[in-house]
């Protein structure tokens, strides 16, 4: 049997027409395909040919058959196999009051559409995205519920352009959105921007606004767009940015020198403190490696520790080391190195912190020098005290001894005469000793603060002039040799005394058996001027007396003028102006006294 379809069969709507008996009168092609009906449907019962449908649909069909003119709804049914299916329907009676014997039914499976809508809705809900549009012809604005929620206005709020713009925060945000909207209307450009609004409740919020103009014949008829609440993300971003900036700022402004160093030692980045410490600018420093500016003696130690970090034996190390700054001056520093590794543990770079210690080292050295001076002074004071007591005591005891003898009548006339001579000698010796002590007390060890420029050459020639009679009388041959500057830093009276003492000692202790020779040499060294006075005289047994050579009241020759005070004073004067004196000597060969003076710095 063939079925004849009415012309409505081709309609693009799934519909069916049934009569009061639930018998199919007509269906569309759509309906047929949707419910997979055979062509032999005519005359069959309506529900027999359909799948499980929502109960509400069946009820609506029966209502309409009972006389209600139309029903429509969208409902879900969970089928016996557990599927959830959405149906949308519309039922109307056909033919007015008299002939309501037929029902016109559209029924559609809208599950896919419904799910899509749901998803969209949920997505918008979660993402807090709303939509809006503005019709320029009617000058009306539509906001979706989400847009209203974001603005914290009631859902029945009626926006207009002025109000919408006014929600943007006064200042940059409001100016910016005004410009964007004007430009979009004028030239059809879209926008996507992040701005701040102030909600109805006065709360500031970051939003992302996207707008798209719809252009017809070169003029804008409508703007559509989305509106998203991005406050939480933006706040996090801003917080991150702030802390990043704060971190970068703290490195940049840190008093501690900081640098990023490549695994090979190249400087990648450096802060201002570090540049200042080493005297290089950042660009110059980036061309250098730490190896190049490290003091050679400290390099090995540094590299050894660095290797331990590279080999994973340690994560960090600290080291006091020396660098050279741009001028080649030594910079003492405390270095802390930390490795930055990637996820595989490979070293990406090192963070170096460098604290300049020059001030500290300078102070330490100053302190050490002070301590040296104090120790030196203390030692010489102690030495001095014993020697003073010894020598003063020896004269005093002699006086006591002789006085004791003189008071006794048992002395012979000649003994008495001799005793009187000794008394006189003892008292004049006492006087002399006190004079020596006075000389010694005059020298202030470590009193280097008032040093002046002294021309050593001139001082020597003046001294030689002063003792020319003595030189001539003893037939001493004096040779002079000057190399470099003779200018030293000292005190003229000390230098005169030192030179005189050394030359007159050389004459005093000459070997009378041979012609006396004295060689005086002055030589400029790196930071010192060396004076040498060499003679061919009696010499001193250095093994036996070397350590006492510059001691007070130490004498080494049976010479009538040997007082044992000269070299003691000389040594103290040399040290008082920051110099050093040493001697080499051998018996009957002669002596050489070498004095290192501080060079006068221009």
Q: Which residues of this chain interact with other proteins, rule CB under 8 A?
A: 386, 389-391, 393-394, 397-398, 400-402, 404-405, 410-411, 415, 418-419, 422, 425-426, 544, 553-558, 562, 564
Q: How far is the CB of 274 from other proteins (least distance, A)?
A: 55
Q: How far is the CB of 587 from other proteins (least distance, A)?
A: 11
| Contacts with 601 (C-beta within 8 Å, 6 or more apart), sequence order | 489
CB-wise, 68 or 562, nearer to other proteins?
Answer: 562
Integer Cα distance of 362 and 392 in angstroms: 43
CB 499 within 8 A of CB 564: no
Radius of gyration in angstroms for the set of CA atoms belonging to the chain, rounded to a whole number: 57
CB-wise, 418 or 524, nearer to other proteins?
Answer: 418
CB-wise, 113 or 416, nearer to other proteins?
Answer: 416
Q: Give the number of other CB atoms < 10 A from CB of residue 94.
A: 14
Q: How far is the CB of 296 from other proteins (least distance, A)?
A: 46
Q: How far is the CB of 405 from other proteins (least distance, A)?
A: 6
Integer Cα distance of 597 and 346 in angstroms: 57
Integer Cα distance of 398 and 430 in angstroms: 10
The overall longest dimension of the chain from CA atoms, in Å, is 187
CB-wise, 331 or 402, nearer to other proteins?
Answer: 402
Q: How far is the CB of 389 from other proteins (least distance, A)?
A: 6
CA 592 to chain centre: 56
CB-wise, 8 or 386, nearer to other proteins?
Answer: 386
**What is the DSSP code (8-state) at residue 23?**
B
Integer Cα distance of 301 and 289 in angstroms: 16
**What is the DSSP code (8-state) at residue 266?**
B
CB 466 within 8 A of CB 428: no
CB 572 within 8 A of CB 578: no
CB-wise, 170 or 400, nearer to other proteins?
Answer: 400
CB-wise, 312 or 404, nearer to other proteins?
Answer: 404
Q: How far is the CB of 550 from other proteins (least distance, A)?
A: 15
Q: How far is the CB of 438 from other proteins (least distance, A)?
A: 20
List the one residue out of 8, 27, 14, 12 whose CA is nearest residue 108: 14
Q: How far is the CB of 534 from other proteins (least distance, A)?
A: 23
CA 281 to chain centre: 16
3-state secondary structure of 372: helix
The three-point CA angle 441-446-448 to 5° equals: 110
CB-wise, 211 or 566, nearer to other proteins?
Answer: 566
CB-wise, 163 or 390, nearer to other proteins?
Answer: 390
CB-wise, 215 or 434, nearer to other proteins?
Answer: 434
**What is the DSSP code (8-state) at residue 141?**
E
Q: How far is the CB of 518 from other proteins (least distance, A)?
A: 23
Integer Cα distance of 362 and 343 in angstroms: 44
CB-wise, 198 or 540, nearer to other proteins?
Answer: 540
Q: How far is the CB of 593 from other proteins (least distance, A)?
A: 19
Q: How far is the CB of 574 from other proteins (least distance, A)?
A: 23
CB-wise, 233 or 547, nearer to other proteins?
Answer: 547
CA 276 to chain centre: 13
CB 48 within 8 A of CB 35: no
* β-sheet bridge partners, residue 91: 71, 105
Give the DSSP H or E segment for 495. Answer: helix 492-508
Integer Cα distance of 71 and 392 in angstroms: 140
Integer Cα distance of 324 and 288 in angstroms: 12
Q: How far is the CB of 417 from other proteins (least distance, A)?
A: 12
Q: Which runs of E-coded beta strand occur in 149-287? A: 191-198, 204-216, 219-229, 257-261, 267-270
């Amino acid at each position: 049997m063939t079925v004849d379809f009415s012309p409505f069969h081709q309609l693009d709507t799934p519909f069916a027409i049934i009569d009061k008996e639930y018998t199919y009168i007509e269906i569309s092609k759509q309906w047929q395909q949707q419910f997979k009906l055979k062509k032999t449907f005519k005359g069959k019962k309506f529900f027999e040919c359909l799948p499980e449908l929502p109960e509400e649909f069946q009820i609506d069909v029966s209502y309409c058959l009972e006389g209600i003119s139309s029903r429509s709804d969208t409902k879900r049914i969970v089928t016996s196999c557990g599927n959830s299916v959405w149906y949308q329907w519309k039922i109307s009676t056909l033919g007015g009051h008299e002939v309501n014997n037929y029902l016109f039914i559209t029924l559609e499976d809208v599950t896919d559409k419904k799910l899509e809508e749901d998803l969209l809705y949920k997505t918008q809900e979660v993402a807090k995205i709303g939509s809006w549009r503005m019709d320029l012809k009617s000058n009306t604005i539509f906001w979706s519920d989400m847009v209203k929620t974001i603005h914290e206005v009631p859902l029945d709020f009626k926006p207009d352009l002025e109000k919408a713009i006014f929600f943007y925060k006064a200042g940059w945000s409001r100016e910016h959105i005004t410009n964007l909207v004007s430009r979009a209307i004028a030239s059809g450009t879209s926008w996507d921007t992040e701005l701040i609004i102030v909600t109805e409740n006065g709360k500031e919020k970051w939003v992302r606004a996207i707008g798209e103009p719809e252009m017809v014949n070169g003029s804008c008829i409508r703007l559509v767009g989305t509106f998203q609440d991005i406050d939480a993300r933006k706040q996090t971003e801003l917080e991150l940015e702030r802390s990043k900036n704060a971190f970068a700022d703290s490195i940049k402004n840190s008093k501690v020198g900081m640098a990023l160093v490549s695994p090979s030692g190249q400087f990648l980045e450096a802060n201002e403190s570090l540049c200042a410490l080493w005297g290089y600018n950042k660009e110059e420093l980036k061309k250098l490696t730490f190896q190049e500016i490290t003091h050679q003696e400290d390099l090995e130690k540094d590299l050894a520790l660095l290797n331990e970090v590279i080999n994973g034996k340690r994560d960090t190390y600290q080291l006091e080391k020396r660098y050279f700054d741009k001028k080649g001056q030594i910079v003492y520093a405390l270095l802390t190195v930390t490795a930055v590794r990637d996820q595989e543990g490979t070293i990406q770079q090192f963070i170096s912190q460098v604290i300049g210690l020059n001030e500290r080292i300078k102070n330490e050295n100053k302190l050490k020098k002070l301590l040296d001076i104090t120790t030196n002074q203390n030692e010489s004071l102690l030495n001095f005290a014993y020697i003073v007591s010894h020598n003063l005591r020896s004269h005093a005891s002699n006086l006591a001894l002789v006085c004791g003898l003189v008071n006794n009548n048992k002395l012979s006339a000649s003994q008495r005469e001799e005793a009187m001579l000794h008394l006189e000698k003892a008292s004049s010796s006492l006087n002399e000793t006190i004079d020596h002590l006075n000389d010694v007390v005059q020298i202030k060890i470590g009193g280097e603060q008032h040093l002046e420029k002294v021309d050593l050459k001139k001082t020597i020639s003046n001294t030689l002039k002063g003792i020319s009679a003595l030189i001539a009388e003893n037939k001493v041959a004096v040779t002079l040799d000057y190399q470099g500057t003779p200018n030293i830093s000292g005190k003229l009276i000390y230098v005169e005394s030192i030179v005189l003492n050394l030359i007159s000692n050389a004459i005093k202790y000459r070997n009378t058996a041979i012609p006396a020779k004295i060689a005086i040499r002055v030589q400029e060294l790196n930071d010192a001027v060396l004076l040498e006075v060499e003679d061919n005289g009696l010499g001193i047994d250095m093994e036996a007396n070397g350590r006492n050579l510059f001691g007070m009241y130490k004498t080494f020759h049976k010479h009538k003028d040997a007082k044992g005070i000269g070299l003691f004073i000389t040594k103290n004067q040399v040290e008082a102006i920051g110099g050093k004196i040493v001697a080499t000597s051998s018996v009957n060969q002669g002596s050489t006294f070498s004095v290192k003076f501080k060079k006068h710095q221009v």
